[in-house]
């Protein structure tokens, strides 16, 4: 059982490190925040990795939702442009 828990935590930490630059897709919606210079600190990265370590399945679901929203907006934009 300990291997399952360790694997869960490692996958979450890797997911957090990999998704830090696009974290707006997982929490604040598909729009990138205006002021990103303040949020690039080490403490912000550590906090994001800690959250993702324990909640990565929820974060994946919110990312899928954001991907659907972005795809729908692109499709609507293409229909309007035609």
Task: Identify the weakest region by mean pLDDT among 21-25, 37-41, 72-76.
Answer: 37-41
Mean pLDDT of the chain: 83
Residue range of the domain that includes 71: 2-81
Report the distance separating Cα 24 and Cα 36, nearest Å. Answer: 10
Q: Which of 30, 33, 31 is nearest to 67 (CA)?
A: 30
> What's residue 77's pLDDT?
85
Domain total of the chain = 1
List of residues 6+ apart from 39 with CB closer than 8 A = 33
Q: Which of 67, 81, 80, 77 is nearest to 30 (CA)?
A: 67
DSSP classification of residue 36: -
């Amino acid at each position: 059982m300990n291997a399952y828990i360790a694997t869960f935590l490692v996958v979450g930490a890797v997911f957090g490190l990999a998704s830090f630059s696009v974290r707006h897709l997982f929490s604040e919606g598909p729009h990138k925040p205006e002021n990103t210079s303040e949020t690039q600190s080490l403490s912000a990265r550590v906090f994001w990795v800690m959250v993702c370590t324990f909640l990565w399945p929820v974060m994946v679901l919110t990312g899928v939702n954001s991907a659907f929203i972005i795809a729908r907006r692109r499709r609507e934009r293409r229909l309007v442009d035609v």
